[in-house]
């Protein structure tokens, strides 16, 4: 009945469904465990009309013109450039650490350190904090210690539940020092939020009547792997199977569990116009939560009330909470490689997305991957 089955209705699965139905003119069965489309990008207007990201703040940013152009077919954009402040020593300072932050935290030596930074690394560079700590200059060494202690260490411990040394550089590089006065959190060329919410993008991606959306359904209820073949309701499936769920679950954890970091959110509503000055404030040292995001800054809505989102990183337990972040460590990548190898031996199985590829993709990267996988599939 279907030549294409997709598991997961986040960006990975939804972009694939859109391409297959609109370009190949083929029928798609899209299976989704939750009772809604959109994956972790799902947002909704609450009963005061405030647009809320159910699974934490999603700010779209990319340098990939192709991805921006593609997505712009499905939405208009609210112009927004994310600003983050970190609550450090009782002050709110720009994050990532930049030359403005330097002036607030080390005002006495700011001129000297700024000179040294620019001379050593160039203007407008991004220096990973673990990179900076390798310096021999005593001022830069001191700076690296301050940033490490005050901004990096405890935030990373809270966020990942482990010591920074115990993580792959690809994660820790996400907290750099920037040698400019650009207070924006992202420097990408294209930045914004979808005008009517991410959900409106997903409704449009999935609007082709050839896409059949099966909600509330664990793929395991329909799909079995046996002898390197895919079975759907007991029948050998010869179409293409695009899987965007957790790869270890697909193979019944035969090579072991892949660990993830999870999150818990507290949402609070206030009867006042704004709660804080910027979109997100990070709390590297105080409190159990990592950050507070106020959605109205992101979405540009005006409303007499406001909603904030407090993030508490959590241990991930299968079937109990949501796997948000793969944990990039060599040992886990080795487990992943075993699954990947197994997957390659199965005809017409395509792995795609954060969970299936065990990679900390941003939204734009996932969409980019989906467009590539679609090219592969359609040229076969």
For position 106 contacting a copy of itself by CB under 8 A, the verdict is no
208 or 348, CB closer to a copy of itself? 208
Number of Cα atoms under 13 Å in the Cβ half of residue 44: 10
Which window, 90-98, 99-107, 111-119, 214-222, contacts a copy of itself (CB under 8 A)? 214-222
Report yes or no: 83 and 185 within 8 Å, Cβ to Cβ: yes
Contact pick of 5, 127, 211, 343 for a copy of itself (by CB under 8 A): 211
For position 25 contacting a copy of itself by CB under 8 A, the verdict is no
For position 303 contacting a copy of itself by CB under 8 A, the verdict is yes
Contact pick of 89, 111, 115, 221 for a copy of itself (by CB under 8 A): 221
Which window, 49-57, 64-72, 88-96, 100-108, contacts a copy of itself (CB under 8 A)? 49-57
Distance CA 32, CA 22 (A): 20
Distance CA 175, CA 284 (A): 12
Which helix (H) or strand (E) is 44 found in, with range?
Answer: strand 43-45
Number of Cα atoms under 13 Å in the Cβ half of residue 76: 3
Contact pick of 54, 203, 220, 359 for a copy of itself (by CB under 8 A): 203
For position 213 contacting a copy of itself by CB under 8 A, the verdict is yes
Name the token pair of 177.
Answer: 């020092």
Start-to-end C-alpha separation, the chain: 20
Distance CA 183, CA 85 (A): 9
For position 224 contacting a copy of itself by CB under 8 A, the verdict is no
Least distance (Å) between residue 81 CB and a copy of itself: 21
Report yes or no: 228 and 346 within 8 Å, Cβ to Cβ: yes
Binding stretches for a copy of itself (CB under 8 A): 1, 35, 44-51, 195-197, 203, 206-207, 209, 211-218, 221-222, 233, 301, 303
């Amino acid at each position: 009945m279907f030549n294409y089955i997709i598991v997961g209705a986040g960006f990975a699965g939804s972009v694939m469904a859109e391409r297959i139905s609109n370009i190949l003119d083929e029928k798609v069965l899209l299976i989704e465990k939750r009772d809604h489309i959109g994956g972790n990008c799902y947002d909704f207007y609450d009963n005061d009309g405030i647009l809320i990201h159910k699974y934490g703040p999603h700010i779209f940013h990319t340098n990939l013109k192709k991805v921006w152009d593609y997505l712009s077919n499905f939405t208009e954009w609210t112009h927004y450039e994310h600003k983050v402040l970190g609550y450090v020593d009782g002050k709110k300072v720009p994050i990532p650490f930049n030359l403005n932050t330097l002036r607030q935290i080390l005002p006495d030596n700011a001129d000297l350190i700024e000179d040294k930074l620019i001379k050593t690394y160039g203007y407008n560079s991004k220096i990973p904090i673990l990179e900076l700590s390798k310096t021999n200059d005593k001022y830069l060494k001191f700076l690296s210690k301050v940033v490490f202690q005050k901004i990096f260490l405890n935030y990373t411990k809270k966020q990942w539940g482990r010591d920074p040394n115990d993580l792959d550089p690809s994660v820790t590089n996400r907290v750099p020092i920037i040698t400019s006065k650009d207070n924006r959190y992202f420097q990408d060329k294209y930045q914004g939020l979808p005008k009517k919410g991410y959900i409106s993008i997903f409704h449009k991606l999935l609007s082709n009547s050839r896409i059949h959306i099966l909600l509330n359904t664990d793929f395991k209820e329909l799909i079995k792997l046996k002898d390197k073949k895919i079975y759907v309701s007991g029948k050998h499936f010869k179409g293409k199977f695009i899987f965007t769920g957790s790869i270890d679950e697909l193979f019944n954890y035969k090579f072991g569990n892949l660990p993830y970091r999870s999150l818990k959110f507290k949402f609070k509503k206030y009867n006042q116009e704004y709660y804080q000055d910027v979109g997100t404030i990070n709390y590297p040292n105080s409190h159990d939560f990592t950050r507070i995001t106020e959605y109205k800054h992101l979405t540009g809505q005006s409303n007499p009330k406001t909603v904030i989102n407090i993030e508490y990183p959590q241990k991930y337990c299968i079937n109990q909470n949501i796997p948000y972040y793969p944990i990039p460590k060599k040992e886990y990548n080795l487990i992943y490689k075993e699954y990947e190898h197994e997957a390659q031996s199965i005809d017409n199985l395509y792995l795609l997305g954060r969970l299936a590829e065990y990679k900390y993709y941003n939204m734009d990267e996932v969409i980019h991957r989906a467009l590539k996988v679609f090219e592969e599939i359609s040229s076969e």
